[in-house]
Chains A and B, each alone.
Chain A
Amino acid sequence: MTAISVAGLVKTFGTTRALDGLDLTVRTGEVHGFLGPNGAGKSTTIRILLGLLRRDAGEVSVLGGDPWREAVPLHRRLAYVPGDVNLWPNLSGGEAIDLFGALRGGLDRKRRDELLARFDLDPTKRCRTYSKGNRQKVAIVAAFASDVELLVLDEPTSGLDPLMEAVFREYVRDLRDAGRTVLLSSHVMSEVEALCDRVSIIRAGRTVESGTLTELRHLTRTPMTVQSDRPIDGLADLPGVSAVTVTGTTTRFEVESGTLDPVLRHLAQFGVRTLTSTPPTLEELFMRHYGEDSAAAGARPVAAGAR
């Protein structure tokens, strides 16, 4: 069961190749994190998924349909929060919410009023007086108050304060519990780690990683710190071990998943007093993919020390 499936998606703007064979699979009922630096092609992908832009090549299916040709019936079943929420300056926030709801095919009045209260949004203010965060709240309330199968959220919390972000997370969890599918593009790693079942990381218009967080961690090295009775040697010769630094009895190194067993046996000879293993955070995974240039220069931004 897939809600969104994209294969080999290509989109060019003039001479710029914005998407260069992008793949993306979002399963029905999951919250899928969509990560990438600015300009990687996240918003372009989302606009193609909504039929606002036309693809140049590749396969795209949203809720089983072609988003370009079947835009209207598909849009009845999904809700979208754009990255840049643009509203009509002379409409009130409440009017804009009702309008989006009605154009999408109806909205739950009770849920709308509850959302307004939870997000602390004054619906009588004119849209021209709203801050970025409040404009986002308008789009979020309109999307969450609609009864839809799929929610497409493009950096929805970039203008929200931490309190509102917590409310947002609560609602996303409710949606997942109700069996809805969510595609969440975000820059906030903690948010993605907290909410998402699976994650796709894109870079320069291509997908570089995709899977659950555990799977992604498996693909990468784990930093370890060991304090031992005697200085450790011979570690660098073991398979899968890298970046070894020995400072007296403290040793730091990185090890690939699946090669941990021989490493632990080797360490045992030196009288291990403490052993700290820090699985990489999503942020570190993320930085590793974008920071490839800086990693080559030996400045990999992995937090040192035990956690």
Chain B
Amino acid sequence: MNGFTGTPRLTRLAVRRDRVKLLVWLVAVPGVGAAVLQSVVSIYATEQDRLLYATSSAASVVARAFNGPASGPSLGAVVNAEAYTSLAVLAALLSTFAVVRHTRQNEETGRAELLGSAVVGRYAPLTAALLGTVAANLLSGVLLAAVLVGGDLPVAGSVALAAAIAGIGIAFAAVAAVAAQVSGTARGANGLAAATVGLAFLLRAAGDAWGEVSVDGLRVTSAWPSWLSPFGWANQVRPYDADRWWVLGLTAAFTVAAVGVAFLLTSRRDLGSGLLAVRRGPAGASAALLSPVGLAWRLQRGVLLGWAVGVAVMGLAMGSVGNELESFVGENETAAELIAQLGGTDRLVDAFLGAMMGMFALAVGGYATQAVLRLRGEEAAGTVEGVLATAVSRPRWLLSHLACAAFGTVGLLALAGAATGLGYGLVADDVPGQVGRLTVAGLVQAPAVLVLAGLAVVLFGLLPRWSVALSWAALLLCVLFGQLGALLELPQSVLNVSPFTHLPVVPAEDPAATPLVVLSLVAVGLLGAGLAAFRRRDLAIG
């Protein structure tokens, strides 16, 4: 028996456990590629459109930071710019979660101990996790390349793009392998790996934002920070433009080095321990924790903080593109029409900002769903049993969590509006006016989001074991209606099912009171119904 004994068996076990996740992965990556390809082909149909796209995105700091350096006017280069960020982040996060799931999480749950007592080498679990993840990345890369080539894009560029994306996934799988050795908990390892993903993204964004535009205005040479990041390397392959294969060598070298470090750390630590000790907590509770609301806030605040950072960054970025919008879309009629359709007005900036607020409302709907479903999480984990066996009534427990969810929803929407207003105000030279106007625009979305939250409460009260799946399905439906309803020409009666359909598009329109009042009443009614159902039913622990 050597250190790798049992690796093939463990790899098969990992694939078996992840069979559904893998399927989603293998569909999602080529799916994103196909969707972007299709929309680029229709929106930027002519060489003229693409020249405009390349010059405006090379000139825009925001476009460079989000989409990477512009690489000329070819159809493939535009697809690359539009699909790159989604694909790169998707591959990076799927890979890190997969590696942590099959290493540190197994140790935390004690599964690794059981496996380790069998004929399994010291390095086998880590090797199996890496093999499975690398294979998933390669396979999804092959499918992505096939989709792109099938869309009549050049073979070399398509393979280069797919390889670059797979490279990102593999590099971050190696990062996660190190994180899983360093942190003593799966949550910590995921956090550490995700923070690395974020840092790498920022380095790339900064390097591209500071990059130099070429003389013809169609290309950008990135500054040095881009070269410090796996995300940057993927860009520097320049698919559909230069196809510089040698850059992939950097990804490979980085991966080999990180995997080496991970194996070295594995050989030096005990099963179940990490390099970072689990921090100790206070020996007693502070007064703030000692109430149902205090407990709910303690359990929910971390998630809310994460959302707040994300919403603020997105708001700033979206707001600051507002001013460039005229030049960005101005001469492209398809894109202008699309925005006017989503935003409900010809005044392009207001239409854009209104559409952005609608997007934020859906995103915050994700937060609200997550926050309400914490109720079910507490019930399934059994922690609710101990609380409800004390002098805390069911309504008090439920309302304490909902208070956090409602506070977070309203706060995030106000923050989204304020951040967008700040971003737009800075470029339009009207910070106080825009912050005020767009904070209102954000807050106007709250009733619709709260209806969605109310629905989740009803589902929790009536069908606890199904509440998670059904609540997310409801949100997904709202997203589909909101984003695609107008494009698919669905009948209005169908679109009316989504609470978001009834929102006035602020700031383009004046906020109408009636729909907001009606939606608020519906939200309160749903909450009451959910509470009544929960008071009547058995706890469904586990």
A: residues with CB less than 8 A from B are 47, 50-54, 71-73, 75-76, 80, 82, 84-89, 91-95, 98-100, 102-105, 123-126, 128-129, 139
Contact = CB atoms under 8 A, between A and B. Distances in A.
A99 B383 contact: no
B96 to A, nearest CB: 20
A91 B292 contact: no
Contacts of A53: 538-539
B431 to A, nearest CB: 38
A109 to B, nearest CB: 9
Given A75-B391, A88-B299, 15 more contacts: A73-B391, A86-B386, A87-B386, A88-B383, A94-B285, A95-B281, A98-B284, A100-B386, A104-B391, A105-B391, A123-B284, A125-B278, A125-B280, A129-B278, A139-B386
A54 B538 CA distance: 6
Given A80-B389, A86-B386, A92 B290 contact: no
A6 B488 CA distance: 62
Nearest to B387: A103
A126 B187 CA distance: 13
B281 A91 contact: yes
A72 B392 CA distance: 6
B447 to A, nearest CB: 32
B298 interface: yes
Contact of B289 (A87, A93, A95, A126): A95
B187, B278, B388, B392 pick with most chain A CB within 10 angstroms: B388
B276 interface: no
B295 A82 contact: no
Contacts, number: 105
Contacts of A52: 385, 388-389, 538-539
Interface of B: 108, 185, 187, 278-285, 289-292, 295, 298-299, 381-383, 385-394, 536-539
Nearest to A109: B284
A278 B284 CA distance: 51
Contact of A71 (B285, B291, B393): B393
A217 to B, nearest CB: 35
B295 to A, nearest CB: 6
Contacts of B284: 94-95, 98, 123
B108, B289, B291, B385 pick with most chain A CB within 10 angstroms: B385
A21 to B, nearest CB: 19
Contacts of A129: 278
22 contacts: A52-B538, A53-B539, A71-B394, A72-B392, A75-B389, A82-B382, A86-B382, A86-B383, A87-B386, A91-B281, A94-B284, A95-B281, A95-B285, A98-B289, A100-B386, A103-B391, A104-B391, A123-B283, A123-B284, A124-B280, A124-B281, A124-B283
B112 to A, nearest CB: 16
A19 B298 CA distance: 38
A95 B288 CA distance: 11
B279 to A, nearest CB: 7
A82 B295 CA distance: 19
A47 B539 contact: yes
Given A94-B284, A123-B283, A125-B281, A99 B295 contact: yes
Nearest to A80: B389
